[in-house]
Amino acid sequence: MDFKDSPEQAEFRRTVRQWLQQNARPKNDGAQRKSQGELYEEAKLWYQKVADAGFACLDWPKEYGGAGLSQLHKVIWSQEVSAFAEPDGYFVIGIGNCGPAIMHFASEEQKRDLLPRMASAEDVWCQMFSEPSAGSDVAGLRTSAVKRGDKWIINGQKIWTSGAQHSDYGVVLCRTDTEVSKYRGLTMFFIDMHQPGVEVRPIKQMDGDAHFNEVFFNDAEIPDHQRLGEVGGGWGAALLVLMNERLAISGVQPDGFPEFLQLVKTLRLDGEPISSDPLVKAFLAECYYRHAGVKAASNRMLTAVAKGGMPGAEAALGKLVGAAMNQDIANFALQLMDGAGAVMEPELARQQAHFQKTVLFSPGIRLAGGTDEVMRNIIAEQVLGMPQEPRADKGMAFKDIPSGNQHP
């Protein structure tokens, strides 16, 4: 990838930087603990401000609420906005995952109606794939959609749905045929999260917030025009969403290195800079080569996408390495802080309690977008070309797959 901006890109960077300096909050500016509701409202206001300035969804067509630019313009925006304390990646699930699904499968009328409101966060979206009985096997889901006339009746449960309690719409993957293999019997829809038959139950986590949710469908009725793609074509549609999800997550996935480098530069041990400690030096070096490697791999992937390619399985690399590294760094940082690591108030804690909050939230990040084990399988099979794991249910009709609910 050529890391030098073209004249046009350099001018765009100057424009973005100038706008951010005038409209975005600097980091470390009066940080304080905020509730999830406060953060949500703050993010809504920020996204609307970005949209009004013409910087929302830079690579989307203008008629869908975007700017009609390229992936490289998105990279420039991400690089510049990272220097400010704004929630720029707050609605990445909807825009990064659901947006491409609507763009690819919805009607032209639906695109023009739904996408601009998504881009400005007037409407918030969530993605509903995971289920309690399926675990990491998305294709093993059991939420059913049954056709009745020109409508579908949905029943079942989803889990680990990020932001569902704040969402207006969601993309949902359902089983529409049990007579074929688990991959061929799926269909994708979008649904109004406020309609009858949809119930959201937040899952409280150890950091005190509810980032994930359970979603229950009880005879939720939707029209056929809310189907995304062909009946039985849900697995292909899901792969499109998942590939874009990993690309989107790779763009905002924190690995913790910049914050750790800042900490190491400021901490002292017995009057000496902690950066002179051999163990700290070794850990810092290990973190740096991982950080640099993921950044290079991400840039290579973005180059391919900018040239018209699709986001590939390589995006799993950033998720796998970055999420684990973020957790490891936070744990190491709290050990360096000793007793001060227990202070959670941003106005009192070092670096506004960044590492304290990360320790509590980072386990969830390792689940979101696919577990470590799923990421390793994707990399092994789709990037390295290694043999697939044995699958006993391959080709078997879904109704014939043994489950814990069956009795002799």
Task: Give the whole-angstrom CA distance, residue 153 versus residue 130.
Answer: 19
User: Which residues neighbour 29 within 8 Å (Cβ) at sequence distance 6 or greater?
Assistant: 85
CB neighbours of residue 381 within 10 Å: 14
The helix (H) or strand (E) run that includes residue 315 is helix 315-337
Phi and psi angles of residue 212, each rounded to the nearest 5 degrees, phi first: -110, 160
Task: Give the whole-angstrom CA distance, residue 213 versus residue 164.
Answer: 6
**Is 41 an annotated catalytic residue?**
no
DSSP 151: E
Structure tokens of 365? 């990040």
Say if CB 64 and CB 99 are below 8 A apart. Answer: no
Task: Give the whole-angstrom CA distance, residue 306 versus residue 300.
Answer: 10
Task: Give the whole-angstrom CA distance, residue 175 versus residue 154.
Answer: 9
Structure tokens of 400? 């014939």
Q: Which of 80, 86, 245, 259 is catalytic?
A: 245
Single out the residue of 115, 97, 312, 82 nearest to residue 188, CA to CA: 97
Q: From residue 228, give the alpha-carbon distance in Å to each of 96, 137, 232, 240.
A: 16, 21, 11, 12
**Type of residue at 370:** G
Report, as residue numbers or ranges, the catalytic residues: 245
